[in-house]
Amino acid sequence: MLEVENIHSYYGGAHVLQGISMKVPDGRVVAMLGRNGMGKTSLIRSIMGMTPPEVRAGSVRYNGEELLGRPSFYIASKGLGLVPQGRRIFPSLTVVENLMIAAREGQAKGNNGAKWDLNRVFELFPALERRRKNRGNQLSGGEQQMLAIARALMSNPSLLIMDEPSEGLAPVLVQQLRDQLIVLKQQGLSMFLVEQNFGLAMAVADDVYIIEKGQVVYEGTPADLNARPEIKKRYLGV
C-alpha cells in the first residue's frame, strides 16, 4: 500500500503541493483527476523522489517504509514503476532494446506472481510485437505510449504509476488504452493513474481523487463522483 500523508512540495518559493494525502491500497486502481498545472506531475515526482520539487513536510510510505528523502532508484527498486508524462522512450533504440533496458526481476507482487517478459508484454500489446525492430522515433504516438507502459511493466513493478497516459492520443487509441489497463487491473496490478481524461479514469479506477491548486478537493468512488455534477463541472469542466 502506498500512503501519502500531508505532503508539502515547493519549487523555490512556489508552494505547489499544499498538504496532499492519498493512498493506493494493494490491488486497487486509484485515479487522480485535475486540470493543467494543478500539481499532478509534482505529486508523482514527490512520490518518486525526483527533484524538483522539494518536499518539505509530510510522509510517503510504501508498505510501511518511509520513502521521503530516498533516491529515485531506491524507490523504483521497492516496486514503484513509472510511466512518465510525455513517454520518454529512447528514440534511437528499437522497441526490443527499449524494453530490455528496463527489464528487472522486480517484486512481481500483485501480478498473480507471474513475471513480465517480452512474450508477456507482446501478448498485451500485439501492435508492439509487429514493430519490435523499429526504433522509438519511428513509432506513432499510440505505439510510443504502449511502449512506455510496456517498459515500465518490464521492471515488474508492484505499483504502476502513470502520468497522463492518454495525453495526445486519438479517441480510438484511448479506448484501446482503457481496455489494456482493465486487463492489467484484472491481473491484480495496483495502479495510480493521473489523468485529465475523465472517461478513462472513471472506467478504470476503484477510487478517484480530484486535485485543485495543490490540494485534494474530492475523494470518492466513480459512482459517487458521477452523482455529483456540481463537482465535475467546478473542478473538471465536464
Ligand X SMILES: Nc1ncnc2c1ncn2[C@@H]1O[C@H](COP(=O)(O)OP(=O)(O)OP(=O)(O)O)[C@@H](O)[C@H]1O
Residues that bind ligand X (CB under 6 A): 11, 14, 16, 34, 36-42, 52, 85, 196
**All three cell numbers of 15:** 508552494
Cell of 91: 528514440
Which residues make Cβ contacts (< 8 Å) with residue 43, sequence separation at least 6? 4, 7, 9, 17, 20, 32, 194, 211
At residue 148, what are phi and psi to the nearest 5 degrees? -65, -40
Q: How far, CA to CA in Å, does 149 sit from each of 6, 59, 81, 232? A: 29, 27, 9, 28
Question: Of Mg ion, ligand X, none, which one does residue 39 interact with (CB within 5 to 8 Å by kind)?
Answer: ligand X
* Min separation Cβ 184 and ligand X, Å: 22
Residue 42 touches Mg ion, criterion: CB under 5 A:
no
Whether 144 and 136 have beta carbons less than 8 Å apart is answered as: yes
Q: Which is nearer to Mg ion, 42 or 158 (CB)?
A: 42
Phi/psi for 79 (5° steps) reads 110, 10
**Ranges within 79-98 binding Mg ion (CB under 5 A):** 85
Is 164 in contact with 85 (CB distance < 8 Å)?
yes
Rounded to the nearest whole angstrom, what is the least distance from the CB of residue 38 to ligand X in the complex?
4
CB of 150 to Mg ion, least distance (A): 21
Q: Which residues contact 186 (CB under 8 A, 6 or more apart)?
A: none
Give the nearer residue to ligand X in terms of CB position, either 50 or 108: 50
- Shortest distance in whole angstroms from residue 85 CB to Mg ion: 5
Instruction: CB nearer to Mg ion: give 41 or 107.
Output: 41
Which lies closer to ligand X via its Cβ, residue 168 or residue 222? 168
Q: For the chain, first and last CA: distance in Å?
A: 31
**Minimum distance, C-beta of residue 194 to Mg ion, in the bound complex (Å):** 7
The three cell numbers locating residue 119: 512474450
- Residue 19 interaction partner, one of ligand X, Mg ion, none, beta carbon < 5-8 Å per kind: none
Q: Which three cell numbers, joined as nine digits, stand for 172?
A: 480510438
Among 9, 41, 46, 145, binds Mg ion (CB under 5 A): 41
* C-beta closer to ligand X: residue 41 or 144: 41
Q: Which residues bind Mg ion (CB under 5 A)?
A: 40-41, 85
